[in-house]
Amino acid sequence: RVSLSADDCFHVGKVAYDTGDYYHSIAWLEEAVGLFRLSYGSWNPEDRSSLEDALDHLAFSYFMAGNISHALSLSREFLHYDPSNQRVARNVAKYEKLLETGTAASAGPLRRPNGTHLQSRDTYEELCQRPGVQVGLAGAGGMVPHPTPVLPSHTLLCPLSLQPTPERLPHLGCSYETNGSPYLLLQPAKKEMVQIQPYVALYHDFVSDAEAETIKRLAGPWLQRSVVASGEKQQKAEYRISKRWGAPAAHTADPVVRALEQRIAAVTGLDLRPPYAEYLQVVNYGLGGHYEPHFDHATVRELLGWSWGGSWLSPLFCGSKPQFWGSWFHFRGAKPLSAPQNAALFWWNLRRNGDGDGDTLHAGCPVLAGDKWVANKWIHEHGQEFRRPCSADPRD
């Protein structure tokens, strides 16, 4: 039930404006201008911007997009509220001259900027705007094995997966799993199969509220801007907006972190000792935080040896349960699903022969309210040869 204010919309639009992405800045700034007009004359102590700011940025966005007449109209409206602004007055004169001489280029349709890193943006944005489908709802007979539609405002969106085909439905269900581990004998893991290919399993009640709070407290003071792999280097990227904390060796001695890693090892059957796995990572996504479609494994053959054989995604805590967050989906047609808080999601990034699994493209949709906390446990392929051996099928 939380809505974005005019100031919120202005600052989201300004992010696109500052990067020269007028395709997206115009939509957000239009919304900001409309909301500011409705509340003009009232004062909101939380606002850091005004109607004049939104009009100024929107006018220039339209100018850069080639729509001179609309840029002129917005600039004139700006001068109505601030007639002494000489810079905008000069812009008005410039726009009028361009229109009089006919030298202004005709405004064509706005086009989305090309992004070589993202070939699936249309699918990504369309999926992030759909209502979710919740998995693992409690019912009279226990966990419901198949997706049940719910309103997005009542849920946390975690995985996005393909709609299961009819022949696969019998394989999807819920079970109590021990995985042959004594650690799980008295308290089996609550496993729900979300998808067969690629393999996606959801574990309910994987962490407690107290454990989630402890990990959040450990990570909070050490959060830094997340980076992504670029060849053999790490760098910041506009398509991943979040803050990350990689637990140093000192924090692995914390009883909560140690218990969580022991639980992951029991459920997966994998070796989590260094150097066969990374230290626990905690990621925080604030308002607007997102991670566009990506693979967790390396996409360059020479680097696959350093890829993670499995990836572990554990949603830990979400303060205000925002709509649309932590979404997972497959590129060739997908449907958003919603998973319970404190659940964990597991899938294999690599096939048994060491090749990257192209079906594991996934994304984190933008957070629209509150924030999102996620813990990741990356497990290397190296060291798991006898725990996840190759099969007789060379394609596997």
pLDDT tens per residue, range 19-69:
888 988 999 999 999 999 998 878 788 888 999 999 999 999 999 998 999
Task: Tell whether the model's pLDDT for residue 231 goes beyond 80.
Answer: no
N residues, the chain = 396
Rg (CA), the chain: 25
**Does residue 177 sit in the same domain as residue 259?**
yes
The verdict on residue 168 lying in a domain is no
- Which one, of 380, 176, 366, lies nearest residue 298 by Cα? 380
Q: Looking at per-residue confidence, does 313 or 157 come out higher? A: 313
At 323-381, the pLDDT tens digits run: 444 455 554 445 565 567 788 888 888 888 878 887 777 777 777 777 778 888 888 88
The verdict on residue 387 lying in a domain is no
- Residue partners of 138: CB distance under 8 A and separation at least 6: 144
The CATH number for 305's domain is: 2.60.120.620
The verdict on residue 384 lying in a domain is no
Q: What is the DSSP code (8-state) at residue 334?
A: -
The verdict on residue 352 lying in a domain is yes
The CATH number for 22's domain is: 1.25.40.10
End-to-end CA distance of the chain: 46
> What domain range is 96 assigned to?
6-104
Rounded to whole angstroms, the Cα distance separating 193 from 187 reads 19
Q: For the chain, what is the domain count?
A: 2
Rounded to whole angstroms, the Cα distance separating 139 from 155 reads 16
- Residue partners of 387: CB distance under 8 A and separation at least 6: 269, 270, 271
**Does residue 239 sit in the same domain as residue 91?**
no
**Does residue 236 sit in the same domain as residue 367?**
yes
At 123-175, the pLDDT tens digits run: 777 777 765 544 432 222 233 223 332 222 222 223 333 334 444 455 678 99
**Does residue 217 sit in the same domain as residue 343?**
yes
